[in-house]
Amino acid sequence: MASEMLQRDDLSVYVVAGVPKSFKKKLQKFVGTESKSEGDVMLLDEEMTDWVLARVRGEKRRSHEQTPASSALWRAYRALSAARYHLQDQPIEEQIRKIRDEIEVLWRDASPLHREDEEAEEGETEEGEAELDEAS
């Protein structure tokens, strides 16, 4: 049913915070009464939610934060995430998840964005150690 719903051309995506999981039933009733045709509601899984929120927050990396390798690995990660979503009820889903996780590690290693984060963390650690040395 979810795949049929995702094929529609009248989809809207809303981000709602601070509601219990039981909110979905209330929302389904509301959509049922308000929709012009047969409306439906779908709660995204955790990974899809993270992806949507990353896009909404504007965490898409700028061109100077990408290399051709990191861009290709990111596209592979996204493709495997989509495949995993579509095959979530299949035995192959676990294997796809493992491959996707390996690609994520490779992407982090290849990404200039993560190198900058690691360098900043190392700098903070060295500063903290220097402060401890001075205090003793």
- Count of alpha carbons within 13 angstroms of residue 6, beta-carbon side: 9
Residue 44 in this model has a pLDDT that exceeds 70:
yes
What confidence score (pLDDT) does residue 96 get? 93
What confidence score (pLDDT) does residue 61 get? 60
d(CA 20, CA 43): 12
| Alpha helices per DSSP H over 1-136 | 2-6, 23-34, 46-56, 68-86, 93-110, 112-135
**Rounded alpha-carbon distances, angstroms, from residue 101 to 2, 4, 25, 28, 96:** 25, 28, 33, 34, 9
As a whole number, the mean pLDDT across the chain is 78
71: three-class secondary structure by DSSP:
helix
What confidence score (pLDDT) does residue 101 get? 92
What confidence score (pLDDT) does residue 50 get? 80
Q: Which sequence spans correspond to the domains of the chain?
A: 1-43, 60-136
